[in-house]
Structure 1
Amino acid sequence: MFLRGIKSGGVFNPAYTYLGFPGFFVIASVLATLGLTFYRLWFEDKRLRHLPPKVPGPPIINQTFYHMQDDLATNAIKWTSEYGEIYRTRTGTTDWIWLNSGEAVKEIIDRKSSIYSSRLLNPMGFEAASGGRRVVFMPRGKQWRTIRGIIHKLLTPKAAKSYAPIQVFEAKQLSVDLLDSPQDFYMHNRRYTASLILQITYGRRLPKFECDEIRKIFEVLVRFGQIRRPGQWLVDSFPSLANFPPFDLVSNWRQFGKECHLKDSKIWMEFWTQMCQEIEAGTAPHSFGKGFVNSNWAEKGLDELQAAYVLGTMIEAGSETTSVQLNNTLVGILSRGQEVMKAAHEELDRVVGSSRTPTFDDEKNLPYIRAMVKEVNRWRFVNKFGTNHYATEDGWYKGYFIPKGAVVMINIWGLQYDPKRFPEPEKYEPMRYYNHKLSAAESVSAANPNLRDHWCYGGGRRICPGMHVAERSLFLNIARLMWGFDVYHAKDENGVEIPVDATFGGMIPGATAAPQPFKCDIRVRTPQHEKILRQEWMDAQAEGLKLEDINFEGAEEDVKA
């Protein structure tokens, strides 16, 4: 029995999926073999005695179920306080090494990225449900390096700046959407993010949330959420079960995964095929995708479906991330009463004034708005469970042995909720970063790990390539929100404030740290602010968004090189 993705209150939520969990009698022989192997290695390989301290758990199962729970964040923080800089959990037959200091992340993930940039074998996530094509699950190798190079060149800092006209145009619509139907802010933020990434990849705008393109994208995201959660699938915890025929008799994981892959492939190929047809007809909009279709992707060893998945992967990664953080920012603002809102208003009124809206050029003079961006990325981060780094060689750190085949995790919760560095870490407090001068990318590159602002974009060769675009979108839209609007708690019919859950319990179940749908009262600050917001959107519509003026060519030339 399993639950499929559901749509609740207009919001798609990834549902937990448990397929045919077998009795232990089915896998007893496999576990016995693995147990004997571990026993032999323990006594023959003395290095295993130097593994990081292990979180206690029941035999065989260990922390498999802890990784499945939605209170993993609470456990990750608790275990960090108990075990310190590095500790170990175990799911199935795999050791998970959790890094809980900036120094450990810098030394292991960044400086030794050639060892720690692969991925754990996921029979369900990578093989069955992705057909071996999703780069997020792809092990390190030639194919991964090729695709990673294509994606990174699309999302370099220089490329990210070239997308400013799209971001500004979409932000202007977002502001007017908030004027016209502020109660639908959750979906307005989602429309902004999906429209931005679809224009970059395929040159297609999404002026309304209720459209066929967004429906298809979120269908994929629901399925993606079902397959990616650590511990969700027994076969991913015990990969040897994928080659154990009796397991398929009691679990339909393989069939379900293949169904997901077929449905996702159909959608990504529809986008790809339409682009190819438009190119042939001479009507294709200017976009990165157009240049990519015309590039030598086949000579790089990609087939057509893999090429479609390259663009589809970017849509998957970019369609929710910024909207999740914009909605989390609203939760953070509400959690502080009017304190954050008033501080933002003061800065924007002083620096920008009331006769124009803030722009990217104002960023250097708006330290509080920049701090709001950094703080929401510390306080919440889109990928609730982080990303795994698979050790392809044995390694050591401060006397601890990290064996080949272990999963090394940046413990984002432990790092970003460390009370020694972030007092009252559960509190949304932008002032933590008021004097932080480095951008997210500059923080990642800093030699001193203590200068890292947060770890929500990961690290090493698996760092999120879209962080430059995401940071700019967050700055622009938070600045515009705080410039033009007041944000208050909504009230019920009796005039009583409706609370918003700013705790971990306020996040939707699953792999994404998105807030549960909530209500808030968004009001324009003054008639003057409304007049300016409406006029600039009218002007933008009259002028139109000229994609041909956007410099996709640099990225296209990089792909062809």
Structure 2
Amino acid sequence: MNKVEQGKALAPVAVGTAAALYLSYKIFQSLLYKNNEYIKEIPVPSSAYPYVGHMFSLGDMPAEKVSQWHKELGPIIKFRMGVQTWVSIDSPELAHKVMVTNGSKTSHRNENEFMFHMYSFGGKGIVNSHPDAAWKKARAAVAAAIAPSEIELYMTSIQNQAKKLVDTLMDTSDKTKAGIFPFKDLQLYVMNTVTLIAFGRTFPSRDDRTFIEISETVDEGFKLSGVDYDMANYLPVFTIYDYFKGVRKILCQYLIEKRNPVYGSLIKEAHYTDGPNLVKYLDNHGYGLSEEETMVIFSDLTGAGTDTNSVYLCWTIAIMCHHPEVQKKIAAEIDDFIERNDRLPLFSERLQLPFCISAMKECMRFKPVTAFGIPHLAIDDIEVDGYIIPKGATIIPNMMSMHKNSEFYPDRPDEFVPERFMNALETSSAASKGKVENRDHFNFGWGRRICPAIHMAEVETFIGFIELMSRCFIEPGEDGMPNINKADNGGIAILPLPYKVKFTNRKN
């Protein structure tokens, strides 16, 4: 048989083989569609513009706009921030799969100019760094230094700071009559807890020069980390604009003239203070951290720790003002403990106050303190629930709509229900290590990037809240009830609008 005849004889075989392969492909493809695996498009909001994408559609409160998009499009959405792709998730179960199950691919950070390259000296510290060996060392050091056994050393001092806070709130409220906005006093209390543990020092009042200096440094750092000072990272065309505007000079001046001197001085003085502190702990236990690593770790702890917990307590006070019946029930539970023990409860005795604990958790769910947490970065394509999250995407959990997710919180998710967590009283630290369906809220983050200072935060907020509610009744000031339906965009944090309340002595 010649080659022509061989070709004619094999043609039907080739055609049949090709047809079989094509048919197999179509069957395989149809099975994928049938099984709903990695073939669903992530929904994209329609309100995008050329080049800038959705940046100018977000408005003054991006979390609210993204929440609206979730209501329209579902639990996962994709939008463009200039040249960047962002993926937002408001389903706790889906977020768990993305940031915990796929944590090795989703725990990196964006390498933006200010927070990564400048503020964190190229990704050092525990907040803005990639999850590399240096990050693991730094995180392990901090986790050991603020472990429950170490925090126990500061309990009496934290209780004394809480007592001073309530004394100040009551005295100031009594003098003004019209009511006060307590945020700065709460910030002083929280910062004193953080700086006591970190540096072994506290500040006597909100008028203290060093307290003001640190507060301004923290506030300015959050401001400079916003989009306004990082436009070139989203829209490269702004590189020229930023150059002539002197953005880099502004960022450098902040670090050289404010951040570095403030924390450098605190770290240096901490070596010579009496009593324990985190600076001495890290030195004495031989962690071998560089000067830059130490600087970033302490600015991370002071900034993040002070801002979030102050905001939480400020929201909680506003919520309590709206619910006098809840205040009375909390007060009765605390009074019952005092009657039996002749003192306030310790954090280790928190389970004896189940309604207090449930109400505190519900405040954090009802009004989450952050809009999106700290964004994660996908370093590879991720397939989850039929979606492909592309490599290089920025991943955010939308805290506002996530904490109102009706599938995860089926009982009146849009309402404040103080009894919601009566059967989930374990600490948020413990809950975060278990199954996602057993978690209470998600303000502390996810997986390997979860906040390492959860225990410290829970201790200081519990002690401050119990001290306050054991002595005070929170009433509206002259401007009426606090507005808890609106919020201010604080960058990372979601702040309550300024309000005035009165702290009256409930023992009178």
5 Å-filtered alignment, 1:344-355, equals 344-353=330-339, 355=342
Going from structure 1 to structure 2, the CA distance change for 1:424 and 1:349 (only over 3 Å counts) comes to same
Alignment-derived partner of residue 91 in structure 2: 101
Going from structure 1 to structure 2, the CA distance change for 1:422 and 1:167 (only over 3 Å counts) comes to farther
1:70, 1:510 within 8 Å by CA — same for their partners in 2? no
5 Å-filtered alignment, 1:178-193, equals 178-182=169-173, 183=180, 185-193=182-190
5 Å-filtered alignment, 1:144-223, equals 144-182=135-173, 183=180, 185-223=182-220
Count of residue pairs the alignment pairs up = 461
2:170, 2:504 within 8 Å by CA — same for their partners in 1? yes
- TM-score (ref. length: structure 1): 0.76
Whether 1:261 aligns to 2:249 is no
Q: Structure 1 counterpart of 2:419, which letter? A: M
Deviations along 1:315-343, one digit per CA (max 9) or x if unpaired, are: 1122232222111111111223x122122
Alignment-derived partner of residue 519 in structure 1: 500
Deviations along 1:68-90, one digit per CA (max 9) or x if unpaired, are: x3322222222222222211111
Distance of 1:253 and 1:136 partners within structure 2 = 23
Whether 1:435 aligns to 2:434 is no
Whether 1:224 aligns to 2:221 is yes
**Once the 2 structures are TM-superposed, how far is the Cα of residue 198 of structure 1 from its aligned partner?**
0.6
Distance of 2:153 and 2:41 partners within structure 1 = 47
1:124, 1:235 within 8 Å by CA — same for their partners in 2? no
Deviations along 1:467-496, one digit per CA (max 9) or x if unpaired, are: 1111122222222222211111113xxxxx
SS in structure 2 of the partner of residue 429 of structure 1:
coil
**Once the 2 structures are TM-superposed, how far is the Cα of residue 253 of structure 1 from its aligned partner?**
2.0
**Once the 2 structures are TM-superposed, how far is the Cα of residue 414 of structure 1 from its aligned partner?**
1.9
Q: Structure 2 counterpart of 1:202, which letter? A: F
Going from structure 1 to structure 2, the CA distance change for 1:305 and 1:284 (only over 3 Å counts) comes to farther
- TM-score (ref. length: structure 2): 0.84
5 Å-filtered alignment, 1:393-472, equals 393-420=380-407, 421=409, 423-447=411-435, 449-472=436-459
**Once the 2 structures are TM-superposed, how far is the Cα of residue 190 of structure 1 from its aligned partner?**
1.6
Distance of 1:273 and 1:436 partners within structure 2 = 43
Q: Structure 2 counterpart of 1:515, which letter? A: P
**Once the 2 structures are TM-superposed, how far is the Cα of residue 119 of structure 1 from its aligned partner?**
0.2
1:100, 1:410 within 8 Å by CA — same for their partners in 2? yes
Distance of 2:193 and 2:473 partners within structure 1 = 25
Q: Mean alpha-carbon deviation: is it higher for 158-167 or for 104-113?
A: 158-167
Q: Structure 1 counterpart of 2:402, which letter? A: L
**Once the 2 structures are TM-superposed, how far is the Cα of residue 459 of structure 1 from its aligned partner?**
0.4
SS in structure 1 of the partner of residue 312 of structure 2:
helix
Distance of 2:38 and 2:97 partners within structure 1 = 21
Whether 1:321 aligns to 2:308 is yes
SS in structure 1 of the partner of residue 80 of structure 2:
strand
SS in structure 1 of the partner of residue 502 of structure 2:
strand
2:337, 2:344 within 8 Å by CA — same for their partners in 1? no
Within the candidate set 322, 325, 330, 1:335 is matched to: 322
Q: Which runs of 5 or more residues in structure 2 are unaligned? A: 1-36, 174-179
1:231, 1:237 within 8 Å by CA — same for their partners in 2? no
Alignment-derived partner of residue 21 in structure 2: none
SS in structure 1 of the partner of residue 368 of structure 2:
coil
Alignment-derived partner of residue 78 in structure 1: 68
Structure whose alpha-carbon radius of gyration is higher: 2
Whether 1:121 aligns to 2:111 is yes
2:338, 2:344 within 8 Å by CA — same for their partners in 1? yes
Whether 1:370 aligns to 2:357 is yes
Alignment-derived partner of residue 498 in structure 1: 480
Distance of 1:519 and 1:422 partners within structure 2 = 33
Q: Structure 1 counterpart of 2:506, which letter? A: R
Deviations along 1:507-550, one digit per CA (max 9) or x if unpaired, are: 355432232332111111115xxxxxxxxxxxxxxxxxxxxxxx
SS in structure 2 of the partner of residue 352 of structure 1:
helix
1:126, 1:134 within 8 Å by CA — same for their partners in 2? no
Q: Structure 2 counterpart of 1:268, which letter? A: Y
Q: Structure 2 counterpart of 1:164, which letter? A: M
Within the candidate set 270, 284, 291, 2:281 is matched to: 291
Distance of 1:48 and 1:55 partners within structure 2 = 20
Q: Structure 1 counterpart of 2:423, which letter? A: N
Alignment-derived partner of residue 5 in structure 2: none
**Once the 2 structures are TM-superposed, how far is the Cα of residue 186 of structure 1 from its aligned partner?**
3.0
Alignment-derived partner of residue 271 in structure 1: 266
Alignment RMSD: 2.6
Deviations along 1:268-315, one digit per CA (max 9) or x if unpaired, are: 111123334x3xxxx5542121232445444xxx43233232222211
Going from structure 1 to structure 2, the CA distance change for 1:477 and 1:284 (only over 3 Å counts) comes to closer
Q: Which runs of 5 or more residues in structure 1 are unaligned? A: 1-46, 492-496, 528-561
Q: Structure 2 counterpart of 1:147, which letter? A: A
Distance of 2:84 and 2:38 partners within structure 1 = 14
2:229, 2:247 within 8 Å by CA — same for their partners in 1? no
2:162, 2:189 within 8 Å by CA — same for their partners in 1? yes
Alignment-derived partner of residue 231 in structure 2: 234
